[in-house]
Structure 1
Amino acid sequence: MLDKLFGVIGSINGVLYYPILIILLLGIGLYFTIRTGFLQGRMFKEAINVVKEKPADKDSVSSFQALMVSTASRVGTGNIVGVSSALCLGGYGAIFWMWIVAIIGGASAFVESTLAQIYKRKDPDGGSYGGPAYYIESALHSRTLGVIFAISLIATYAVGFNMLAAFNLQTSFSAYSFYNKEVTPWIIGGVLALITAYCIFGGGKRIIQFTSTLVPIMGIIFVLVSLIMIIKNIGYMPTVFGRIFSDAFNFKAIFGGIAGSSLMYGVKRGLYSNEAGIGSAPNAAAAASVSHPVKQGLVQMLSVFIDTLLICSATAFMCLSSGVEPAEALDGAPYVQEAVATFLGKFGAPFITFSLALFAFTTLIGNLFYVDNNLAYVQGKKPSKNFMIVYRIIAVLVIFLGAAQKSTYAWDLGDLLMGVMALINLPAIFILSKTAIAALKDYEKQKKEGKNPVFQAKSIGLDDSKLDFWK
């Protein structure tokens, strides 16, 4: 029964990603890149400067905090297992297409997060919240489509991505002698579910604070280990780059079997890792307190680069420079563990397991932050305590079940739900991009005048009576 169901899902994904999402992702991303004058490059330094800014109100969410929330969700198991899966199943060229999705996607991330800031709502405490559901309703005047998007996000993050995070973590334990494929996944899923339950039911603030502090440190250590491995194997790097580019542009192989090509795996795993354009990060972007919406758009663009161009590339080069050849049998954490073992020896597998445990946990918490925001949108108010208890119990069960799923089940479900989100959000931000680009021009005009840009909706022709901010 499940095999038939996921066979259908796999067929839908084949059409959804090629040609539909390939055209939407790359086409709309390229359009934004051209319309913004390739802001990914020319405003990169400005994005770094914006991250350093502190909000006027010390109790408000800063640009840096919003960056950390979105990066915590982006930087997860996809940066390790997702890259490994892309290489093992799609080949060397997949990493090139992941780079393309990130570079072009940076412009999409800018537009969607700028829109989230412009159309954000004010909460009772004076803070802000928002996201695609809110700008779809406010600017496209369709609550129905907003609700459909919110439901798709809830399904993607509470079900698809949380199942994937749990599954990806448990695959790292297959490197140990005690691993039993019938029992161990359930144990790992149970432990992860219990820790997550403790946190989301209010008792785990210290755990969240501890891991939130540890994850950036672990990310830096992870990148450093990869750099040392690359330097150690520097003589092999020209071969690595040669194979990446030759495989990426092997169009005969790509069009001979598009579903299993480097292009398709690069797009799928790149999108899963950096989430640019699918409408998740705008939920965090809307919570930031900034003087101009463009500031948060730049910050979220930077988050995409941190995720893919830095951490995903670190994983790819660490693996490919090791000399361990990617193969379908090593799909997932085992490939990364074998590669790192060439440098760290017996400590290679535990290093990856520990990294995945931290990344998986913060991903789960970050995902549920997005879900809470969209549950409130669907209900039109903050959900009742009883509703949230039931929802959180279900979310914990999903994590438990996700750890023991088949690899294809976990990935295909995540790909389908993520694709549906992108299918709604990308056309929406394309239609509304005129507003985000006008805001960018206003920002740059004020910067040229030597000002710290301050946004007023009327300055770009918006009716501020319909907005909670920017009057």
Structure 2
Amino acid sequence: MNALSSSLVSVVDFLNGMLWGHVLVYLLVGTGIYFTARLGFIQLRQFGHAVNILKNGKEAGTGISSWQVFCTSMAARVGTGNMAGVAVAITAGGPGAIFWMWAIALLGMATAFVESTLAQVYKEKDADGQYRGGPAYYMEKGLGQRWMGTLFSICLIVAFGLVFNAVQANTIADALHHSFGINEKVLGGILVAASAFFIMGGIKSVAKASSKIVPVMAISYLVLALIVVVMNISALPAALSLIVKSAFGWTEAAAGGLGFTVAQAMRSGIARGLFSNEAGMGSAANIAASATPNPNHPASQGFVQMLGVFVDTMVICTASAAIIMVSGVLDMGTEARGISLIQLALTNELGAWTQYFMAFAIILFCFSSIIANYSYAETNVLFLSGNKKGGLLPFRVAVLGMVMFGSVASLPVVWDLADASMGVMAVVNIVAMILLSGLAIRVIKDYEMQHKAGKVPTFDPAKFPELNGVKEDAWTGQLASSKE
């Protein structure tokens, strides 16, 4: 049995090393460059328009609004990784890692735009009138390859629905146990009860909760970061200069006298950015499909999800980097890494009370991720069951069981398994996106042409012959002929 476990660990380690060390970095970067070029740097050209769409997307006539979907996807994206992960990137690759984190986020905005647009194009209504969709749906309906959708769904359910939720619960329980001495089993029970309250209400309940929690947690953390930066404003120009110089190897020493190569900076920054903003992985596209966008056109939600990548990396991760860079902790020769480096910086600048703030932030970040991750997985459970809801209750019980398990257990091997599942999921999604890229580009350009002509963009599926064979057209409510 031990030999079998050892072999499994070796296989998972090899798969993760191959996927995250080589394959996915090149695939995601290449895909981002491709879509950025095909769309004419739409993430820069139409940034202001995207902000306007988000501002106008707080209400939906029926279903879930674009604002609620934005908050739900942010709830899943934003977690302790935006704090601890940035600190790890800097200590592993130097300050230059921040520059490459920004670069991959810029490219990822175009990728997120495309996958969310496709999710909207191929969405469908379930028995309750709720929109469902995502990569599994566009793999089946757009490519006619249900096996791809099945593989994607299984990987997402394992990674996001089960393991990542256990990891988030583990983070909350560990932080509160060490800060306040609360028993992990008691914490686990509280987390299970709180999660059940939202999860049992389904995707609409999750969306409503996220729209309340996410703004509070993000704004609170950004305010704290801003205070630290203002207190050390004189150090900001030098910090920005160091980030740029380190990114291109123009400085031989950084971060306490330690030298970092350009390759180290690129590897750390790109990996941090990809893990954080999820662009191209297909996860956020699941919730993107559930929106009733305003204007009511698939590309409209693409603009909104594009902003999610920007806020996650360019705003929240940058806030973490700023706290570290201007506080001077890197020059102290500290052994602190990850979240402890952020805590050290905050404690030095603002005092010991910040440990309570960090505990509060961790609770909000991780709990919101639990319920948002569930929403991603729910859509894929329904895909596998053919939109029959009989399997939802057992799945919800399994999710709550993993929350309890994560609160009291150590999870290193399980975490590695989740990374492997997420890696396979991302590869399958990227292949599908490339194969459907022609349609996605034309849908986005259709939106831009209507907007440029002064019209409120609306979607007419008849303009796109590829959609004639789709079984259910969520945009017109009419049934088209089945794809043979």
TM-score (norm 2): 0.86
Residue 301 of structure 2 is aligned with which of 283, 296, 301? 296
What is residue 70 of structure 2 aligned with on the other side? 67
Could you say if the C-alpha distance between residues 239 and 6 of structure 1 is closer, same or farther in structure 2, counting changes exceeding 3 Å? farther
What is residue 391 of structure 1 aligned with on the other side? 395
Alignment of 1:354-393 (within 5 A): 354-384=360-390, 387-393=391-397
User: What CA deviation, in whole Å up to 9, does each residue of 1:391-440 have, x standing for no partner?
Assistant: 22322232233345557546534432221211111111011111111011
Residue 432 of structure 2 is aligned with which of 428, 434, 438? 428
Q: Distance in 2 between matches of 1:382 and 1:21?
A: 33
What is residue 310 of structure 1 aligned with on the other side? 315
Deviation at 1:173, TM superposition (A): 4.3
User: What CA deviation, in whole Å up to 9, does each residue of 1:96-140 have, x standing for no partner?
Assistant: 222222111111100000001111112234442111000000111
What is residue 85 of structure 1 aligned with on the other side? 88
Aligned AA (1:294): A
Give the SS at the match of 1:462.
Answer: helix
Could you say if the C-alpha distance between residues 188 and 344 of structure 1 is closer, same or farther in structure 2, counting changes exceeding 3 Å? farther
Deviation at 1:246, TM superposition (A): 3.8
Could you say if the C-alpha distance between residues 226 and 103 of structure 1 is closer, same or farther in structure 2, counting changes exceeding 3 Å? same
Q: Distance in 2 between matches of 1:359 and 1:166?
A: 11
Aligned AA (2:305): Q
Residue 287 (1) aligns with residue 324 (2): no
Aligned AA (1:362): S
What is residue 450 of structure 1 aligned with on the other side? 454
8 A Cα contact 1:336 1:352, kept in partner: no
Could you say if the C-alpha distance between residues 434 and 406 of structure 1 is closer, same or farther in structure 2, counting changes exceeding 3 Å? same
Deviation at 1:362, TM superposition (A): 0.9
What is residue 168 of structure 2 aligned with on the other side? 165
Deviation at 1:310, TM superposition (A): 0.6
8 A Cα contact 2:93 2:261, kept in partner: no
Deviation at 1:51, TM superposition (A): 1.5
Deviation at 1:161, TM superposition (A): 2.0
Deviation at 1:88, TM superposition (A): 3.6
User: What CA deviation, in whole Å up to 9, does each residue of 1:30-67 have, x standing for no partner?
Assistant: 00000000001001011111123359962332221221
8 A Cα contact 1:279 1:422, kept in partner: yes
Alignment of 1:45-124 (within 5 A): 45-54=48-57, 58-124=61-127
- Identity over aligned pairs, percent: 39
Could you say if the C-alpha distance between residues 50 and 91 of structure 1 is closer, same or farther in structure 2, counting changes exceeding 3 Å? same
Runs of 4+ deviating beyond 6 Å: 205-208, 251-256
Q: Distance in 1 between matches of 2:205 and 2:122?
A: 33
Give the SS at the match of 2:436.
Answer: helix
What is residue 128 of structure 1 aligned with on the other side? 131
User: What CA deviation, in whole Å up to 9, does each residue of 1:47-99 have, x standing for no partner?
Assistant: 11112335996233222122122122112222223223333444323322222
Q: Distance in 2 between matches of 1:470 and 1:420?
A: 31
Q: Distance in 1 between matches of 2:57 and 2:103?
A: 32
Give the SS at the match of 1:373.
Answer: helix
Could you tell which deviates more after superposition, 367-376 or 2-11?
Answer: 2-11
Aligned AA (2:112): A
Residue 342 of structure 1 is aligned with which of 348, 353, 368? 348
Deviation at 1:264, TM superposition (A): 3.1
What is residue 38 of structure 2 aligned with on the other side? 35
User: What CA deviation, in whole Å up to 9, does each residue of 1:140-196 have, x standing for no partner?
Assistant: 1111111110111101102332233223334544763748xxxx6565445433432
Aligned AA (1:20): V
Give the SS at the match of 1:346.
Answer: coil
Aligned AA (1:461): P
Could you say if the C-alpha distance between residues 288 and 402 of structure 1 is closer, same or farther in structure 2, counting changes exceeding 3 Å? same
What is residue 324 of structure 2 aligned with on the other side? 319
Q: Distance in 1 between matches of 2:37 and 2:132?
A: 30
TM-score (norm 1): 0.88
Could you say if the C-alpha distance between residues 127 and 96 of structure 1 is closer, same or farther in structure 2, counting changes exceeding 3 Å? same
Give the SS at the match of 2:353.
Answer: helix
Could you tell which deviates more after superposition, 236-245 or 149-158?
Answer: 236-245
What is residue 438 of structure 1 aligned with on the other side? 442
Could you tell which deviates more after superposition, 233-242 or 338-347?
Answer: 233-242
Could you say if the C-alpha distance between residues 338 and 406 of structure 1 is closer, same or farther in structure 2, counting changes exceeding 3 Å? farther
User: Pairwise CA RMSD of aligned residues?
Assistant: 3.1
Could you say if the C-alpha distance between residues 209 and 438 of structure 1 is closer, same or farther in structure 2, counting changes exceeding 3 Å? closer
Give the SS at the match of 2:389.
Answer: coil
User: What CA deviation, in whole Å up to 9, does each residue of 1:10-43 have, x standing for no partner?
Assistant: 3322211232111100001100000000001001
Stretches of structure 2 lacking an aligned partner (at least 5 in a row): 253-258, 477-484
What is residue 468 of structure 1 aligned with on the other side? 473
Give the SS at the match of 1:66.
Answer: helix
What is residue 214 of structure 2 aligned with on the other side? 215
Give the SS at the match of 2:466.
Answer: coil
Q: Distance in 2 between matches of 1:206 and 1:368?
A: 11
8 A Cα contact 2:115 2:285, kept in partner: yes
Could you tell which deviates more after superposition, 389-398 or 270-279?
Answer: 389-398
Deviation at 1:271, TM superposition (A): 2.1
Q: Distance in 2 between matches of 1:285 and 1:368?
A: 14
Give the SS at the match of 1:59.
Answer: coil
Residue 415 (1) aligns with residue 419 (2): yes
Aligned AA (1:220): I
Could you tell which deviates more after superposition, 262-271 or 338-347?
Answer: 262-271
